[in-house]
Structure 1
Amino acid sequence: MTSFLRRPGVVIACGALILTLAMGVRHTGGLFLQPMTLDQGWSREMFSFSIALQNLLWGVFQPFAGAFADRYGAGKTLVGGALLYVLGLVIMANADTAFGLNMGAGLLIGMGLAGTTFSVVLGVVGRMAPPEKRSLALGIASAGGSFGQFAVLPVGQGLIASVGWQSALLWLAVGILFIIPLAFAVTGTNGAPAGGQSVGESLREATRTASFHFLFWSFFVCGFQTAFVMLHLPAFVVDSGMSANVGMTAVALIGLFNIAGSFLSGWLGGIYSKKWLLAGIYALRVVAILAILMLPLTTVTLYVFAAAMGLLWLGTVPLTNGLVGHIFGMKYVGMLYGLVFLGHQIGGFLGAWLGGWIFDAFGSYELAWWLAIGLSVAAALLCIPVREKPLARVAEAT
Structure 2
Amino acid sequence: MEQISELDSRYSWVRLSLTLLIAITGNVGMWSIIVVMPDVQAEFGAGRAVSSLPYAVTMIGFAIGNLIIGRAVDRWGMAVSLFLAAGLMAAGYVVASHSPSLVALSAAQLAIGFGTSACFGPLISDISQWFQRRRGIAVAIAASGNYLAGAFWPLVLGWMAGDEGWRWIYMALAVLTVVLVMPMSVLLRRRVTELADAPKALPTGPRRAVLSPVRLQWLLGLAGVSCCVAMSMPQVHIVSLCVDYGFGATAGAEMLSLMLLGGVVSRVVSGMLADKLGGVRTLLIGSALQAVALFLYLPAGELASLYVVSLVFGLSQGGIVPSYAVIVREYLPAKEAGARIGFVMMMTIAGMALGGWMSGWIYDVTGNYQWAFLNGIAWNVLNVGIMLSILFAGRSAGFGGSAPSMPSAPTPRDI
Q: Normalization by structure 2: what TM-score?
A: 0.79
1:114 pairs with 106, 109, 117, which one? 117
Q: What is the aligned partner in structure 1 of residue 267 from structure 2?
A: 262
Distance 1:316 1:368 in 2: 21
Distance 2:133 2:176 in 1: 35
List per-residue Cα deviations over 1:367-388 (Å, max 9, x = no partner). 5433322211211221111144
Q: What is the aligned partner in structure 1 of residue 147 from structure 2?
A: 146
Q: What is the aligned partner in structure 2 of residue 197 from structure 1?
A: none
Once the two structures are TM-superposed, the CA of residue 113 in structure 1 deviates from its matched residue by: 2.2
- Residues 1:287 and 2:292 are matched in the alignment: yes
Superposition pairs for residues 85-234 of structure 1, below 5 Å?
Answer: 85-95=89-99, 97-105=101-109, 107-118=110-121, 120-129=122-131, 131-160=132-161, 163-177=164-178, 178-189=180-191, 209-227=214-232, 229-234=234-239
Distance 1:13 1:35 in 2: 35
Amino acid at match of 1:141: A
Once the two structures are TM-superposed, the CA of residue 45 in structure 1 deviates from its matched residue by: 2.8
5+ residue gaps in structure 2?
1-8, 197-209, 398-402, 409-415
Distance 1:191 1:67 in 2: 18
Distance 2:239 2:32 in 1: 10
Once the two structures are TM-superposed, the CA of residue 96 in structure 1 deviates from its matched residue by: 5.2
Query: Does the CA contact (< 8 Å) of 1:30 and 1:232 recur in 2?
Result: no
Once the two structures are TM-superposed, the CA of residue 121 in structure 1 deviates from its matched residue by: 1.0
Distance 1:321 1:339 in 2: 10
Distance 1:226 1:324 in 2: 21
Structure-2 change in CA distance of 1:189 and 1:229 (3 Å)? farther
Distance 1:312 1:394 in 2: 35
5+ residue gaps in structure 1?
195-204
Query: Does the CA contact (< 8 Å) of 2:33 and 2:55 recur in 1?
Result: yes
1:252 pairs with 257, 260, 269, which one? 257
Q: What is the aligned partner in structure 2 of residue 202 from structure 1?
A: none
Once the two structures are TM-superposed, the CA of residue 230 in structure 1 deviates from its matched residue by: 4.0
Distance 1:222 1:29 in 2: 25
Structure-2 change in CA distance of 1:262 and 1:338 (3 Å)? same
Query: Does the CA contact (< 8 Å) of 1:261 and 1:312 recur in 2?
Result: yes
Amino acid at match of 1:260: V
Query: Does the CA contact (< 8 Å) of 1:328 and 1:391 recur in 2?
Result: no
Distance 2:170 2:357 in 1: 21
Query: Does the CA contact (< 8 Å) of 1:51 and 1:352 recur in 2?
Result: no
Q: What is the aligned partner in structure 2 of residue 315 from structure 1?
A: 319
More helix by share: 1
Bigger mean CA deviation after superposition, 351-360 or 173-182? 351-360
Once the two structures are TM-superposed, the CA of residue 362 in structure 1 deviates from its matched residue by: 6.3
Structure-2 change in CA distance of 1:63 and 1:108 (3 Å)? same
- Residues 1:372 and 2:373 are matched in the alignment: no
Distance 2:173 2:135 in 1: 32
Structure-2 change in CA distance of 1:224 and 1:93 (3 Å)? farther
Distance 2:305 2:161 in 1: 26
Q: Larger RCO: Structure 1 or Structure 2 (Cα < 8 Å, ≥ 6 residues apart)?
A: 1
Q: What is the aligned partner in structure 1 of residue 5 from structure 2?
A: none
- What count of residue pairs does the alignment treat as equivalent? 378
Structure-2 change in CA distance of 1:73 and 1:209 (3 Å)? closer
Once the two structures are TM-superposed, the CA of residue 322 in structure 1 deviates from its matched residue by: 0.9
Once the two structures are TM-superposed, the CA of residue 393 in structure 1 deviates from its matched residue by: 4.1
Bigger mean CA deviation after superposition, 142-151 or 355-364? 355-364
Distance 1:236 1:28 in 2: 22
Q: What is the aligned partner in structure 2 of residue 199 from structure 1?
A: none
List per-residue Cα deviations over 1:326-383 (Å, max 9, x = no partner). 1013111111111112211221332344455556666655554333222112112211
Query: Does the CA contact (< 8 Å) of 1:14 and 1:183 recur in 2?
Result: no
Distance 2:162 2:246 in 1: 19
1:21 pairs with 13, 22, 25, which one? 25
Calculate percent identity across the aligned residue pairs: 21
Distance 1:124 1:147 in 2: 19
Distance 1:84 1:19 in 2: 16
Once the two structures are TM-superposed, the CA of residue 74 in structure 1 deviates from its matched residue by: 0.3
